Structure 1
Amino acid sequence: MSGIAAPDYDFASLSPYDFEVFVRDLLSAQDHLIYSTYRVGADGGIDLKAATEKGWVVAQCKHTPSADKGSLLRAARIEAGKAAGMGLAPVRYVFVTSAELTPGTERETQEALAGVADTVKVYGRGWLNAVLALHPEVERRHFKLWVSSTQAVRAMMQDGVFLRGESRIQRIERNYLRFVHHKTCEVAELALEEYGCVLLSGAPGAGKTTIAEYLLLLWWHRGFRVVVDPRTVDQWWAWLEDDTPTVFFFDDAWGQTHHQDHGSRHHDTDMSEFIESVVERQSSGTASKVLIMTSRVQVLQDTVRLSDASRRTVERLAHCHVPVERLPYDVRCRMLFNHVHLAVTDPQTRQDLSIGSWWQRVASHQNYSPRLIEIVVRRNGAKSAQELINNLEEALENPHEIWGASFRALPPVDQQLLLALSLMDSQLVLWQEVVRRLGSFPSPEFHVDAAVERLNGSWITKASHAGSQGLTVADPSQRDFLIRYLSISPGAMTAIIRNSVKFDDLIPVCRRGEAIELEVNLRLFSSGEDLFRSVLDTCARELLARLRDLWDLYACDAADLASGSFRELTSLVEALTLSVRFHGDRHAAPGAALPADWFGAALSRVTRLVDGLGMTSIEPLAELVTELAAAIESASPLWSASHSLLDPISQIRAVISHAWASHEPRIAHHQSTGYEADLAEALVQYANSLAGLGLGPSVDTYSPAEVDAYLARHLDDYDPDDVAEQIDSIEDVVGWNFTDTRERLSPLLDAEEEQTLSSPRRAPAVLPRPTPVVASPADTTASVAALFRSLGTSSTPGRT
């Protein structure tokens, strides 16, 4: 191979984060200490620290390859000024810069830091290269140092065999600087080191190929010939039998989108024999041939299921099989930074991207994948910061590019299983429940058990729950794709509707088809689109008839309720309210009218059930009424006054009023003591809902003065901003001024009034589109924030 010269790096190929990690690893190796990241100062400056018997050692990293003497001295003085805010007195302080230092500059920088610690050291580029020569393992790990030009990657290609040469080289050239090392890389490296083979499996876009290319570069740097994507069996054996140390790389080893899409009938047997030979060489002490493989989990499952030879081989590879799963939050952030840092060159765009927390929304999104980030940033061209941010968020909400081809390659039963599962509980669904919603398939080859096995680990995840097998869609972005597929597929949607078995099955379907202007809608996507509206208009007759049938089944079950089961009643009335709402939302579609006879019978059932409940506490009554009120209030807030279904909603409201009016006196008379205390607690919790329905406790069942005595204790923990409004709501419900409560809470009320007079409340901020957030440690957020702020002050890294 073309050897790499003795270390003489300018470190310009490293991002600020890469440089920090490099210095951490180099200092740890040189000092025989464990350095860890350490945030110092309110500005998010990033230090390293290590514990010794004598005290703390603190290091400050300054990635400034082209800095002059004046810049370094200014930076040193700033860091000296921060010393008091470190919260500790280090015994040793190390200032590390990637700049070239003269003896004079080194001395003056050290003088500028005098007093920060008992001992102060200043290290520059020359020291880093000299010490790096003593620690080749650190140099090998930080491959961005030595793969610092397209010439280096091309040299690897010339030394090796790339049967899909140019495309692979272009990919490595494009991505090596964007790479972020993480735990899975270490696991894969150890597996390859120990067993001579590693199998990386994961979903499309998870980053398994990137890890494989990282390993490829490491072994090339050790002097191994690189053989990538070989497709001719005779060549495999020739390279395996010669004397040249070789690293083989089979990307998508058994097919890219489905089993055997490589077109060879004998591929599985040949591949198995080759893998067995590599593993046997390693176990016999011959470590000159190593093998890296990747496979999509779905393809791997199909291969194992359909090929005995592959199954035996994969079973033998269990100890070197490394799943590539969801990346930690900080790794996702740093990958995103690297992509942006390298792709965006316009100074104004970089400055705009350095502001705000947009990167947190992107990195914490459940649909984040390295491939999506790579595709979007590469295609965007970064015409403006906002355009890039918008493109990233839109891609995360609509990740078609990853899942479409894979889904369309599945058999029909697999597709229907996934579509049904996508609309069910995103956590875990019992296998039997999914099967009930699949209907029947005419051919015996489409067996559900086989479908589950084909999909397990790729599209779905299996788990055991209470002795039964549960299923869930493996990745949130897959669920997004499936939902969108349903939105443009009336046939698939009709099958979902007909195969539903409970009223709750259709709630997520209907909610995603509600009008866009209903702001209270619960929807899977946060982009404000009425995703299912068009397809449900097409299927309206089937949908609404099935809703009514399923509500009837629900009501029959509810008729057997034991006395006091108000929660089931709440669910039943909420389902009826939703049924009215969903009919109203489809009112313009053919066959969408609400049958008057059906609704009348349904309302009679509810009334009988309400009358049959024997509630003995004000709390469940208030809870029942307020939950039903919420259902009604959200039913159709923007329906016109002449809408045909406003009257049914009013009738349901009357049933709720009846529930309060008939039960509250009974509850009051049932309790000999403590009624006012219970009522005070219920009013604090449910006043807004009761006021919305125009409900309140009967005047002859309680003493307002006694309720007044209990209110303050329940309101004492309220936010001062809310307590006055809450008292107003309670007084509206009861029709009584609670002077004692206001007097006791006067400090809170006075503080709120003073705030209102001294500074008008700020207008509510426009909230960003909600995305699921994965919690991150504060120090991780702070250190990554510093990286993104650096976009406004740093340029893209140069190449040597």
Structure 2
Amino acid sequence: MSGIIAPDYDFASLSPYDFEVFVRDLLSAQDRLIYSTYRVGADGGIDLKAATDKGWVVAQCKHTPSADKGSVLRAARKEAGKAAGMGFAPVRYLFVTSAELTPGAERETQEALAGVANTVEVYGRGWLNAVLARHPEVERRHFKLWISSTQAVRAMMQDGVFLRGESRMQRIERNYLRFVHHDTCEVAELTLDEHGCVLLSGAPGAGKTTIAEYLLLLWWHRGFRVVVDPRTVDQWWAWLEDDTPTVFFFDDAWGQTHHQDHGSRHHDTDMSEFVESIVERQTGSTTSKVLIMTSRVQVLQETVRLSDASRRAVERLAHCHVTVERLPHDVRGRMLFNHVNLAMTDPQTRQDLSTGSWWQQVADHQNYSPRLIEIVVRRNRARSARELIDDLEEALENPHEIWGASFRALPPVDQQLLLTLSLMDSQLVQWQEVVQRLGGIPSSDSHVDAAVERLNGSWITKGFHAGSQILALADPSQRDFLIRYLSVSPGAMTAIIKNAVTVDDLLPVCRRGEATELESNLRLFSSGEDLFRSVLDTCARELLARLRELWDDCPCDAADLAHGSVRELTSLVETLTLIVRFHGDRHQAAEAALPADWFAGALSRVTLLVDGQSMTSIEPLAELVTDLAAAIESASPPWPTSHPLFGPISQIRTVIDHAWTRHEPGIARHQNTGYEADLAETLVRYANSLASLGLRPTVDTYSPAGVDAYLAQHLEDYDPDEVVEQIDSIEDVVGWNFTDTRERLAPLLDTEEEQTPSLPRRAPTLPRHTPVAAPPADASAAVAALFRSLGASSRPEWS
């Protein structure tokens, strides 16, 4: 192994338990044996144990990075005295310490342990580093070794792209010492290694983001550029196409508490296309572009239900979907210990926490979540043991109220800023956008600045992107609390409604309160409740009037609609459909009827915009009606024909027929040459959508034989399995049999038919975790020993 440069770790960043697990993995790799963790604490002289043909191998781990020779010798003599308590004679005994050993100290320590086993070996820091150089996979897994300071995290930040850089960095710096590796971490790591993608889903606070950040650290250590929560779609593709190995991380990819609370109605389509591109690149044994995504399981279910694009993306990721479920008891206990051990420095508090079984009730509670523990312990840093335990129990009984007292003590401007932010983009929002939605508060920009400063670090994080200050809630659990607060506060909800700037501001509000008469409407909030239904019935008049006002103010007229661009028009029609839908959701509330004169005026406006389109080719017209159909379909409710507002929705649908009959005949008559060629290309692209809409070209304005002459050349590059279906769709639209096209494509189709059909590709299976060592039989006793160790010192050496 010449040429390998050994690392130079002092191992001070590892906790005693981390050090023991690290030594277990290193010895297992070096000796090619399965070492099991035996006990933590009063272990009878055994930390690790492995079975061989000749007998047992025992290892004792001493994590004392700053110990001198005398301390190491005293520890060795103490362990020698415990040897009789093992109950058997090991054939080999290893004494492993994180202390720096000289050759003399190593020899004397070995002499102090003479007689414990046939073979006694003593290893110190130098040996650990030398062996670690031979096993980089162990070094990679134990990231606390190489991220032992803020310098490593900041280096990763400088190399990558973080749109919430400072807050993400602070989170990683705060949490890496508290991290506990468990089976799901390894399953996620193996999945990402094998497939180049991993989708982590689970309940709020289950630890999805922590596992994702662990994977980020591993891949950054491999030399990958890290891109976290990229906001601009164009940037995704630029990073995807360059030559730099990159790991993309989308945290809460489809929203934090609700589908589409990321603030972009086109997000699902963009994300689906990006996922498709990433998956298609995973063809070889190695890949330079990998993808990590997280989602709350309720949001993921709702997203798949509401969005075809997202459903396709999730289906493509089915083979790399890892569910983060309830953690094992010992893992929950170790996480709790790490938080308490690092946060509590008062000797008396530590002593009080080292006794009793309080930690078992916390670890076993049905509402236990890593995030909840982090929040409560961090805010109780200077309090007594009794107060900490009481606070943990109170938070576990009512987890949504951990933010209640803090929020209610804030000034009104701070409260409205937070409530406004909770309904905006779940990733980041420009400061000025928030200010625009605080119109009900008579305050200057400097007043809002003061509110931001008061909230920074506790309720919000702030940063800069593209020269603008950006804001985000510091924790998703705060968002949960704020949404619940709005659900029982009509006054606060009315202020949100009145201060809305665009219809998009109110879409998350309306979608959280859809009416119960929609049979397909599942519970939308993560806790399984439609929290906004009642409060929106109370505020129905204000909500629906504001929606209509905002639609009237949409800056969209014929001059805005450039030739060939239909996004503004389709967006306007989709928004109109949604407004009708939301009137229908609230139609039983007082003063919630859809004003007939307003709707007639709105429909007239849309018709004028359709008429004002400048169409000189058939393809943009087909694109227009296809996009209009998709917009209306995505916003239309599943109402029965008896619903009072079924008629207005049907009238909106007639816009599609009007657009076609208004433009198609004129295009055919006034296009002197080339109409058949354009129509052939258009039919290849849009035949299915035109057929589903019942639209077809005017038969007396084109030559079917002329179209037939151009079809084959547009279909030659199609998948042969799809050509016949495509020709059938085209013939259905125009009502003509394209015999020439079928004859010219026959050789291609015949060739494919003669080939042996390939078997359907079987979906890859999720990699199964094979642990390095069997889990300890006495996990609870091991964690209990950790908590007993709190009374041994006022502050852990390894922190």
TM-score range, shorter chain: 0.5 to 0.7
Change (3 A) 1:778 1:25: closer
SS in 2 for 1:120: strand
Change (3 A) 1:411 1:785: closer
CA distance in 1, matches of 2:776, 2:223: 40
CA distance in 2, matches of 1:219, 1:795: 36
Matched residue, 1:354: 354
**Residue 109 (1) aligns with residue 180 (2):** no
CA distance in 1, matches of 2:27, 2:251: 36
Alpha carbons 1:258, 1:409 under 8 Å: kept:
no
Matched residue, 1:397: 397
Matched residue, 2:138: 138
Change (3 A) 1:351 1:70: farther
CA distance in 1, matches of 2:91, 2:776: 28
SS in 1 for 2:521: helix
Cα offset for 1:387? 2.0
User: Which of 414, 423, 447 lines up with 2:518 in the alignment?
Assistant: 447
Runs ≥4 in structure 1, deviation > 6 angstroms?
410-413
Change (3 A) 1:224 1:446: farther
Matched residue, 1:779: 778
> Which one-letter code corresponds to 2:790 in the other structure?
L
Q: How many residues align?
A: 461
**Residue 226 (1) aligns with residue 226 (2):** yes
CA distance in 2, matches of 1:101, 1:303: 58
Cα offset for 1:395? 1.4
CA distance in 2, matches of 1:319, 1:253: 18
CA distance in 2, matches of 1:181, 1:82: 30
Alpha carbons 2:15, 2:798 under 8 Å: kept:
no
CA distance in 1, matches of 2:108, 2:298: 61
CA distance in 2, matches of 1:39, 1:99: 21
CA distance in 1, matches of 2:75, 2:515: 73
CA distance in 2, matches of 1:353, 1:45: 26
- Superposed CA deviations along residues 663-719 of structure 1, whole A, max 9, x for unmatched, are xxxxxxxxxxxxxxxxxxxxxxxxxxxxxxxxxxxxxxxxxxxxxxxxxxxxxxxxx
**Residue 72 (1) aligns with residue 72 (2):** yes
SS in 2 for 1:39: coil
Cα offset for 1:82? 1.2
**Residue 321 (1) aligns with residue 392 (2):** no
**Residue 792 (1) aligns with residue 787 (2):** no
Normalised to the residue count of structure 1, the TM-score between the two structures is 0.54
Normalised to the residue count of structure 2, the TM-score between the two structures is 0.54
CA distance in 2, matches of 1:203, 1:69: 49
CA distance in 1, matches of 2:170, 2:287: 29
SS in 1 for 2:100: coil
Cα offset for 1:205? 0.6
SS in 2 for 1:283: coil
> Which one-letter code corresponds to 2:366 in the other structure?
Q
- Superposed CA deviations along residues 277-320 of structure 1, whole A, max 9, x for unmatched, are 01110125660000100111121122111111110110121111
Alpha carbons 1:13, 1:797 under 8 Å: kept:
no
CA distance in 2, matches of 1:796, 1:21: 21
Matched residue, 2:196: 196
Change (3 A) 1:164 1:799: farther
Correspondence list, 1:490-509, <5 A: none
CA distance in 2, matches of 1:444, 1:385: 47
Alpha carbons 1:41, 1:82 under 8 Å: kept:
no
Correspondence list, 1:160-171, <5 A: 160-171=160-171
> Which one-letter code corresponds to 1:64 in the other structure?
T
Cα offset for 1:41? 8.7
> Which one-letter code corresponds to 1:788 in the other structure?
F
CA distance in 1, matches of 2:44, 2:359: 16
Moved more, 334-343 or 146-155: 334-343
CA distance in 2, matches of 1:286, 1:123: 36
Matched residue, 1:48: 48
SS in 2 for 1:367: coil
Change (3 A) 1:20 1:43: closer
Matched residue, 2:387: 387
Change (3 A) 1:329 1:380: same
Matched residue, 1:300: 300
Alpha carbons 1:59, 1:95 under 8 Å: kept:
yes
Cα offset for 1:367? 1.4
Change (3 A) 1:23 1:174: same
> Which one-letter code corresponds to 2:788 in the other structure?
R
CA distance in 2, matches of 1:46, 1:395: 38
Alpha carbons 1:13, 1:798 under 8 Å: kept:
no
Correspondence list, 1:44-443, <5 A: 47-283=47-283, 287-400=287-400, 401=402, 405-406=479-480
CA distance in 2, matches of 1:795, 1:21: 24
Change (3 A) 1:340 1:208: same
> Which one-letter code corresponds to 1:226 in the other structure?
V
CA distance in 1, matches of 2:776, 2:35: 19
Alpha carbons 1:200, 1:322 under 8 Å: kept:
yes
Cα offset for 1:445? 5.8
CA distance in 2, matches of 1:45, 1:354: 22
Cα offset for 1:78? 1.5
Cα offset for 1:786? 1.8
> Which one-letter code corresponds to 2:100 in the other structure?
E
Change (3 A) 1:283 1:72: same
Change (3 A) 1:284 1:266: farther
Change (3 A) 1:40 1:289: closer
Change (3 A) 1:89 1:302: same
Alpha carbons 2:44, 2:85 under 8 Å: kept:
no
Change (3 A) 1:408 1:166: closer
Change (3 A) 1:239 1:131: same
Matched residue, 2:762: none
Cα offset for 1:200? 0.6
Change (3 A) 1:112 1:178: same
Correspondence list, 1:632-651, <5 A: none
Alpha carbons 1:12, 1:797 under 8 Å: kept:
no
> Which one-letter code corresponds to 2:392 in the other structure?
L
- Superposed CA deviations along residues 163-218 of structure 1, whole A, max 9, x for unmatched, are 11111111111111111111111111111111111111111111000000000000
Change (3 A) 1:299 1:17: same
SS in 1 for 2:152: helix
> Which one-letter code corresponds to 1:189 in the other structure?
E
CA distance in 2, matches of 1:379, 1:40: 29
> Which one-letter code corresponds to 2:521 in the other structure?
A
Change (3 A) 1:445 1:172: same
Alpha carbons 1:172, 1:213 under 8 Å: kept:
yes
- Superposed CA deviations along residues 434-493 of structure 1, whole A, max 9, x for unmatched, are xxxxxxxx98664355326x57xx546xxxxxxxxxxxx9xxxx9xxx9xx9xx99x99x
Change (3 A) 1:303 1:379: same
Cα offset for 1:77? 1.5
Alpha carbons 2:41, 2:782 under 8 Å: kept:
no
CA distance in 2, matches of 1:55, 1:357: 37
SS in 1 for 2:260: coil
Cα offset for 1:385? 2.1
Alpha carbons 1:162, 1:230 under 8 Å: kept:
yes
Change (3 A) 1:229 1:292: same
SS in 1 for 2:122: strand
> Which one-letter code corresponds to 1:386 in the other structure?
R
Matched residue, 1:743: none
- Identity fraction in percent: 82
Cα offset for 1:12? 0.6
Unaligned regions of 5+ residues in structure 1, if any?
Answer: 414-441, 461-472, 493-775
CA distance in 2, matches of 1:295, 1:183: 19
Alpha carbons 1:7, 1:133 under 8 Å: kept:
yes
> Which one-letter code corresponds to 2:11 in the other structure?
F
Alpha carbons 2:40, 2:785 under 8 Å: kept:
no
Change (3 A) 1:338 1:113: same
Change (3 A) 1:338 1:45: farther
Cα offset for 1:377? 1.0
